[in-house]
Structure 1
């Protein structure tokens, strides 16, 4: 389990704040051409609850998702240090360097340093680094403290301790604010900024209390068909379970006493529909005790989508909306993140931006920093869409690296006026992305095999046409048959066609 951010003493906090003040001079926005000397340490550690993280197949390869941070090497005086648990395959590194527009890969290669802990155990990467003082010393020798800062996937005490050990600022959320990105914390932020969200409960760590809260929620909304039980620190929907109320019709509000209803709900919790297919009540109830859980009204709808908005809070406290997406979900009840389409539907895109900005401003007032995203449920009612916010992610997530790929490959910008992304020539761009292009028949494909297929079938991104596919999670392919891809087109239809062609080719080559 990752540290919660509550073990930080006053001296550590003061030292981190002093270092963080340096971000005002050493940090630069990713879409700016920067000639000044910069050093960026990328530590893509998934410092999350490791039991929950283990539900994601091949998750130890997810450290590769931030390799799109190599786009910083477009700036000729920027150097980048990237640390992983296991060494990266040389073909994977070469692939990303070749994607860099306007910079010879050899020039970028000289400004890139790779380090590895050579440790494949199920522990967060940052914890592994902290246990290797000689590795820390090697990294420190590569850094100029006045020019350097550190970025990460998500921030905990471990990331702050590493930044302190290296004497460089961390461009990330202070760990004392981690609660703002939990399920319960998200609900508190939504209420504070007036963003609509489903009715729900507070945080509970005992099944009996959670059953009582779920029964009270049902009493407040007698028409509910389902209630979602969410682990407070679950992610990608894997920590969710559905409490089905139809089998409990005999104890529905108005049909039985509150006491009987609570007891019936408590028994029903043991037979919930878990979104993680291998989940059990024994394990889930233990995680309730460790992490806490909330009960939330399940939003029904015949036509329903799951859009999101992604924002950024810079060191000066300014909030910027980066992108909107329509998420692609799967799993037993469509709650597990599989991929996304950019941008979100025009019908609610601007509303997403406005709500995302309100959330970001509250987060900035609380002291949050760097990336955040807000997930919504959109239900069509007549000709309109009703939006409800369901959670905040205070970390880089599944929509972060596809958008970074778009920035890397096109050198374009997001336009707040219409929520679209345009190249310098004014061409709008769209993409279809996934972390879960996975089939058993893909197992055994090595990164070099994938490179051969990409070249022979011309699946690579064509910089002249400005369309094509960019791959990630390539290290996950051989063992798990799992691959990530961002397919960029000049129309939404073209992006989908490129994605389908990638799937067709891989299926044919592995059949």
Structure 2
């Protein structure tokens, strides 16, 4: 306990230097700055997440290489598994105005050669020589650590490295849980789905579902969410329509209905196929969770707003997206479209800012996202409900950062558009999971050559084309990430569809040749 208190005291002292270090890292001054990038997936249960190549999600933060555009900046990028040099060189080639060789001289990529499912931060802490090597690399009074997400592991690592951490204090991460999100939405006074939070037992969950059902007659399904689920993997769907015999109003007692609901929990459909009711319940009892009404309407969207609470106190709107979801129940994040539909874009921006103000008053710092469900009404208008807050980077972060990397433009919150320095809007479609069995075996060099031969690469002159950002899963899983950019939504769609068409054609013809 004393050690924990000492660590928290040391962390608070380090965080007192965060604001000037953060301003320095992205500023234009002549001062030296050393950035340590730790893209650790520090989520409880990440070792059981059924996402192919999840370890390669650590590549998502390669956009931070753009910080090297400042001549006095150095950057160390850590990873569990080696990142292919071609992937690093490709990302460096996107940095504007600086020769790639000069950038490479100020970049250190350090892999731990450990592909186990432990969080990267934990792996670093378990290697004292690696910690010492990082400390020795950092110059005095100019170091800053940035991460994908923040947990107690990242706090321990920041203290071990003796540098401030850009991100929310781990003591405040509860604000980004499913329970904390619903609390913040109520504090902000914005619409949220019917449901209940702070559920930490089977009996509490059953009672909450029963109450929700009684208050919303005709409810067909509910979604149960673990407090710290990742990419929808901690969600489960309970089909109430299949339990119509005990529905409220059918003459069944509440006790009888709760007994049926308790049995039905064992048959919930889990988004993560590895999960069972026993493992789901164990985490629910340990960390808590929520239950919410499942929105059945076909005309629904899943937009998201990205914001930043800076260490200096400013609150900035960064982007809006319509998230692309997949899976039987639409619970799994698959990609995004920028910007969100203009029919509700400004409405969700307004409400997301209210949530961010609540979080800022609690002391939160760093990037965050507020997710919504929008349902189209009979008159064509849209009604939106806040469903989740993430106090971390996410799937919508790197596409926008890559666009900024290429164009040096800005997001205009008044219009809800991204504008180039010439004031022209840009649009994109992005995914981390364009995949096909026929893509298996492709190396990143093959991908880049195919893109070049077919004119897919982003062109600075036309300010359109494709940026590849997630290639570590390509050869093994036939899965890659990309952002397709255009001057209109239709042009962005064209580049996205053209990429799939080209890759399908190139790889399927090779497959046929190899079989002949």
Q: TM-score, normalised by structure 1?
A: 0.96
Q: Give the Å deviation of 1:476.
A: 0.9
Q: Quick check: 323-332 or 259-268, which moved more?
A: 259-268
The 3 A distance-change label for structure 1 pair 164 and 88 is same
Deviations 1:397-450 (A, max 9, x none): 000111111110111000011110001011100000001111111111112211
The 3 A distance-change label for structure 1 pair 469 and 443 is same
Aligned to 1:354: 350
The 3 A distance-change label for structure 1 pair 31 and 21 is closer
Aligned to 1:114: 109
The 3 A distance-change label for structure 1 pair 138 and 30 is closer
Query: What is the rounded CA distance, in whole Å, between the counterparts of 1:133 and 1:126 in structure 2?
Result: 12
The 3 A distance-change label for structure 1 pair 388 and 7 is farther
Q: In structure 2, which of residues 163, 173, 179 is the aligned counterpart of residue 178 of structure 1?
A: 173
Query: What is the rounded CA distance, in whole Å, between the counterparts of 1:14 and 1:286 in structure 2?
Result: 32
Query: What is the rounded CA distance, in whole Å, between the counterparts of 1:198 and 1:7 in structure 2?
Result: 42
Aligned to 2:132: 137
Asked if 2 retains the 8 angstrom alpha-carbon contact of 1:8 and 1:157, the reply is: no
Q: Give the Å deviation of 1:113.
A: 0.9
Asked if 1 retains the 8 angstrom alpha-carbon contact of 2:69 and 2:96, the reply is: yes
Deviations 1:197-256 (A, max 9, x none): 011112223223211111111111123111111111112112111111112112111221
Count of residues in Structure 1 that have an aligned counterpart in Structure 2: 506
Query: What is the rounded CA distance, in whole Å, between the counterparts of 2:71 and 2:174 in structure 1?
Result: 38
Q: Kindly indicate whether residue 362 of structure 2 is the aligned counterpart of residue 374 of structure 1.
A: no
SS of structure 1 residue aligned to 2:492: helix
The 3 A distance-change label for structure 1 pair 31 and 139 is closer
Q: In structure 2, which of residues 142, 156, 163 is the aligned counterpart of residue 147 of structure 1?
A: 142
Deviations 1:125-183 (A, max 9, x none): 01010111111111111112411100001111111111111111000111111111111
Asked if 2 retains the 8 angstrom alpha-carbon contact of 1:31 and 1:411, the reply is: no
Aligned to 2:477: 480
Q: In structure 2, which of residues 472, 482, 486 is the aligned counterpart of residue 489 of structure 1?
A: 486
SS of structure 2 residue aligned to 1:475: coil
Asked if 1 retains the 8 angstrom alpha-carbon contact of 2:22 and 2:144, the reply is: yes
Q: Kindly indicate whether residue 325 of structure 2 is the aligned counterpart of residue 329 of structure 1.
A: yes
**Alignment of structure 1 residues 462-481 onto 2, 5 Å:** 462-481=459-478
Aligned to 2:290: 294
Asked if 2 retains the 8 angstrom alpha-carbon contact of 1:310 and 1:321, the reply is: yes
Aligned to 1:456: 453
The 3 A distance-change label for structure 1 pair 280 and 273 is same
The 3 A distance-change label for structure 1 pair 379 and 57 is same
Deviations 1:90-113 (A, max 9, x none): 111110011111111111111111
Aligned to 1:3: none
Query: What is the rounded CA distance, in whole Å, between the counterparts of 1:7 and 1:134 in structure 2?
Result: 25
SS of structure 2 residue aligned to 1:435: strand
Aligned to 1:398: 395
Q: In structure 2, which of residues 259, 263, 266 is the aligned counterpart of residue 267 of structure 1?
A: 263
Query: What is the rounded CA distance, in whole Å, between the counterparts of 1:387 and 1:179 in structure 2?
Result: 24
The 3 A distance-change label for structure 1 pair 8 and 456 is farther
SS of structure 1 residue aligned to 2:474: helix
Aligned to 2:302: 306
Query: What is the rounded CA distance, in whole Å, between the counterparts of 1:254 and 1:8 in structure 2?
Result: 56
The 3 A distance-change label for structure 1 pair 43 and 173 is same
Structure 1: stretches of 5+ with no match in the other structure: 1-5
The 3 A distance-change label for structure 1 pair 7 and 291 is farther
The 3 A distance-change label for structure 1 pair 28 and 190 is same
**Alignment of structure 1 residues 404-419 onto 2, 5 Å:** 404-419=401-416
The 3 A distance-change label for structure 1 pair 207 and 214 is same
Q: Quick check: 182-191 or 441-450, which moved more?
A: 441-450
**Alignment of structure 1 residues 22-37 onto 2, 5 Å:** 22-28=17-23, 33-37=28-32
The 3 A distance-change label for structure 1 pair 366 and 448 is same
Q: Give the Å deviation of 1:8.
A: 7.8
Q: Give the Å deviation of 1:270.
A: 1.3
Q: Give the Å deviation of 1:7.
A: 9.8
Q: Quick check: 20-29 or 96-105, which moved more?
A: 20-29
Q: In structure 2, which of residues 85, 90, 95 is the aligned counterpart of residue 90 of structure 1?
A: 85
Q: Kindly indicate whether residue 221 of structure 2 is the aligned counterpart of residue 226 of structure 1.
A: yes
Q: Give the Å deviation of 1:375.
A: 0.6
Asked if 2 retains the 8 angstrom alpha-carbon contact of 1:31 and 1:413, the reply is: no
The 3 A distance-change label for structure 1 pair 471 and 117 is same
Asked if 1 retains the 8 angstrom alpha-carbon contact of 2:35 and 2:146, the reply is: yes
Q: Quick check: 245-254 or 123-132, which moved more?
A: 245-254
Q: Give the Å deviation of 1:88.
A: 1.5
Asked if 2 retains the 8 angstrom alpha-carbon contact of 1:52 and 1:239, the reply is: no
